[in-house]
Amino acid sequence: MDIPAMRANFAKSAATGDEAPLYFYSHLFLSHPETRQLFPVSMAHQRDRLFAALGDVVARVDDLEALVPILQQLGRDHRKFGTLAAHYPAVGGSLLATLEHFDDEWSPELAKDWTEAYTLVAEVMIEAAEEAAEQPPWWEADVVAHERRTIDVGVLQVRPRKRYDYLPGQSVSLETDLRPRLWRYYSPANAPRPDGLLEIHVKARDGGPVSSALVRRVGVGDVLRLGPPMGHLALDRESDRDLLLVAGGMGLAPLKALIDQVVRNGPARRVDLFAGFRTEDQIYDRADLQRLERENPWLTVTLVVSEDKLSSLEHGDVGDVVLRNGPWLSREVFVAGPAVMVDDTVTRLVQHGVPRQRISSEVFAPSRPGPSVDGEVTE
Amino acid sequence: MTTEHDASATDDRSFTPADLQHVQFARASMLRPGYVDSEVDRVLSRVAEELGRLYAEKAALRDEVRSLRAQVDGVVTPVAPSEQAVRILSVAQQTADNYVAEAEEFSRQVTSEARSEYEEQVRQARENAGAIIQAAQEAAAQLSSGAPRADATGQRSVEELQEQVAYLKAFAQACRVQLRSYLEALIGDVETEWGRADPAALPQAPQRPPAQRAGTTFEANTAGEPPPEDADDLSATAGSRSAT
């Protein structure tokens, strides 16, 4: 395989920006019309993702150790999109046609190399998908409760129809029939429960098609589809270190799941939760947090507002308030929320002297394609 | 006329319609202004159109060559989608994408405006409510400490008291407005008299009619801004009464 030649060839397609993926998908849908229904109506974001993912593969093509796990994850994750082994040759054909179309120096050698490389990639992905075959590709889940807590936050209780295993702190991708083929990540706000219910916190983003539908249109009796759980925010099972949890806005959900885990499974430890919101009105889960605090003497919940002068709660950026209430040098720290808040809080805590490796964080951003900010390819 | 693109684009590969659409011209110097922007734009878009047409034609020709070649060779090649079809579907998809993007953008604007409107209303209502409650408490304290027959007045409904307080506040506000316009007028008079005696001493400040000045003060209060005077709660209450 002539890898430099393949990279040069790929670069030509990648340099066209939107045109190469546009060509690719049009070619794919015309030659295999049955694949169209696997994708959303608007393909704009899909096109960005395709070439980003392909770029990742091409960049690592000579580093199989790094590439294979990414491909396996991609293969497993594509099951929820309804991808079948039969779709892979179709995609390969259109990919080759695209690479040829945008390269005037296309040669039979390139065609052979790309066919080989693609076959390899497809094999790894198909194999990983088949290994995961004892799990369903997605889980249907009934919405059993839907509560509008504020003008734009809804709390849903959903019950998967089949057993759904996940770890507290992980994220779940989900899809609603109201917005077909658009998957978004949300973190359940509870540890796995005997009755299987998941508590999902959703904030309707302005103009966000999925989140607005989940808050304003989905109701009891509707069915959601859940993808396999992902994500890296998790308690170390070996440790019983005291916890410091810092949430900004909707970042509360995974941290509440961690608290729930301590409630259900222990081990006994002190837990301090700081939850920051802009105004007091936006504290959408206050009653339940207060209940948790009442029932668990080891838990302290501090609510913080940043832009509410009339409020009697602690005032300021949540990271600032956390430090005012320190020291936290012995704690295991989890931070979740918007990017600015996470960066600010982590920086402050590191300056405060908490070792970097004891701080886990997750950024919550609108339309995040995956739960990870560490450059993991998730879609 | 220079372009950022043309050097690299003409060297590497053929000029695409997209290249033309994204071309940017450097600003001409102040001394020697360049071409009229709109004319350049018009020509560019015509060139882009023409290029697009040529591309489509080229694609159609390529299809034709392929099918003719297949006929000559007598080989039945697996049916690949024609270049033309790919192009048509691409344009259709892009159109659909743009509509979706526009709809999402529209929804984003409408919701974010509605939200900020909502937050502002709630904030104002809360401030007004706070001011009213505070004023009522002060008034109640005054009444109970000042009058021995506090029991009798205490029996009177809170609403009645609040109404009285609000009335007093509005009255105070009106008095202040009146007094201020009177003073303004007085100063104005003094200055004109003075000006007649010694025109050079007249300050250059624009003269505002007193009535208008009083009006702006009142409006500023309804908007919830703290007035320059030291009577925040008074004006806020008066403002709320006039606003509701």
pLDDT tens, residue order, chain A (379 aa):
788 888 899 988 888 888 889 999 999 999 888 888 888 888 888 887 877 888 888 888 788 888 888 888 888 888 888 888 888 888 899 999 999 999 888 999 999 999 988 998 899 999 999 888 888 888 999 999 999 998 889 999 999 999 999 999 999 989 998 888 888 889 999 999 999 999 999 998 888 888 888 998 898 889 999 988 887 788 887 788 889 999 999 999 999 999 999 999 878 888 999 999 998 888 999 999 999 999 999 999 999 999 887 788 888 899 999 988 878 888 899 999 999 999 999 999 999 888 888 899 988 876 544 433 333 322 2
Distance CA A373, CA A338 (A): 12
Q: Which positions ≥6 away from A183 have C-beta within 8 Å?
A: A80, A81, A173, A174, A175, A227, A379
Q: Tell me, what's the ipTM?
A: 0.72
Q: What is the pLDDT of residue A367?
A: 59
Distance CA A182, CA A368 (A): 12
The answer to whether A44 contacts B97, with C-beta atoms less than 8 Å apart, is yes
Contacts of A152 in chain B (CB under 8 A): 115
The answer to whether B86 contacts A30, with C-beta atoms less than 8 Å apart, is yes
Domain tally for chain B?
2
Q: Which positions ≥6 away from B16 have C-beta within 8 Å?
A: A16, A19, B51, B55
Q: Summarize pLDDT for B136-195 with one digit per residue, the tens.
A: 999 888 887 765 554 555 556 788 888 888 888 888 888 877 877 777 777 777 766 766
The answer to whether B126 contacts A310, with C-beta atoms less than 8 Å apart, is yes
Inform me whether the pLDDT recorded for B233 exceeds 80: no
Distance CA A187, CA A155 (A): 12
Same domain, A130 and A146: no
Domain tally for chain A?
3
For A:275-294, CB contacts with B below 8 A are 279, 281
Distance CA A357, CA A347 (A): 13
Is residue A206 less than 8 Å (CB to CB) from chain B? yes
Q: What does the buried/exposed string (b/e) look like for B166-177 if buried means 16 or more CB atoms within 10 Å of the residue's CB?
A: beebbeebeebb
Contacts of B81 in chain A (CB under 8 A): 26-27, 30-31
Query: At A290, which CATH number?
Result: 3.40.50.80
Distance CA A229, CA A369 (A): 14
Distance CA A323, CA A11 (A): 48
Task: With respect to residue B107, please indicate whether it lies within any of the assigned structural domains.
Answer: no
Query: At A210, which CATH number?
Result: 2.40.30.10
Same domain, B153 and B73: no
Is residue A212 less than 8 Å (CB to CB) from chain B? yes
Distance CA A151, CA A147 (A): 11
Contacts of B16 in chain A (CB under 8 A): 16, 19
Task: With respect to residue A330, please indicate whether it lies within any of the assigned structural domains.
Answer: yes
Task: With respect to residue A370, please indicate whether it lies within any of the assigned structural domains.
Answer: no
Same domain, B76 and B172: no
Task: With respect to residue B139, please indicate whether it lies within any of the assigned structural domains.
Answer: yes
Q: What is the pLDDT of residue A155?
A: 95
- Size (chain B), residues: 244
Contacts of B124 in chain A (CB under 8 A): none
Asked whether the beta carbons of A283 and A290 are under 8 A apart, the reply is: no
Task: Give the number of other Cβ atoms within 10 Å of residue B23's Cβ.
Answer: 17
Same domain, B227 and B139: yes
Contacts of B112 in chain A (CB under 8 A): 206-207
Same domain, A188 and A256: no
Task: Give the number of other Cβ atoms within 10 Å of residue A95's Cβ.
Answer: 21
Which residue in the set B79, B112, B118 is minimally distant from A206, CB to CB? B112
Helices (H), chain A: 3-14, 19-31, 44-59, 64-77, 87-101, 108-131, 209-216, 252-265, 286-295, 318-324, 339-352
Contacts of A212 in chain B (CB under 8 A): 107, 111
Q: Of B14, B77, B86, B134, which to mutate for an interface test with A (greatest number of A Cβ within 10 Å)?
A: B86
Asked whether the beta carbons of A200 and A188 are under 8 A apart, the reply is: yes
Is residue A209 less than 8 Å (CB to CB) from chain B? yes
Q: Summarize pLDDT for A73-89 with one digit per residue, the tens.
A: 888 888 888 888 888 88
Distance CA B201, CA A317 (A): 54
Could you tell me if residue A12 is left (phi over 0), alpha (psi between -120 and 50 degrees) or otherwise beta? alpha
Task: Give the number of other Cβ atoms within 10 Å of residue B200's Cβ.
Answer: 5
Task: With respect to residue A331, please indicate whether it lies within any of the assigned structural domains.
Answer: yes
Q: How many CB pairs under 8 A join A and B?
A: 71
Could you tell me if residue A216 is left (phi over 0), alpha (psi between -120 and 50 degrees) or otherwise beta? alpha
Q: Of A42, A100, A203, A277, which to mutate for an interface test with B (greatest number of B Cβ within 10 Å)?
A: A42
The answer to whether B107 contacts A207, with C-beta atoms less than 8 Å apart, is yes
Asked whether the beta carbons of B233 and B170 are under 8 A apart, the reply is: no
Predicted TM-score (pTM) of this structure:
0.64
Task: With respect to residue B66, please indicate whether it lies within any of the assigned structural domains.
Answer: yes
- Segments forming the whole domain that contains residue B66: 1-80
Distance CA B238, CA B219 (A): 11
Same domain, A39 and A75: yes
Inform me whether the pLDDT recorded for B30 exceeds 90: no
The answer to whether A209 contacts B104, with C-beta atoms less than 8 Å apart, is yes
Task: With respect to residue B87, please indicate whether it lies within any of the assigned structural domains.
Answer: no
- Cα angle, residue A227 at apex, residues A335 and A286 outer, rounded to 5°: 40
Same domain, B150 and B234: yes
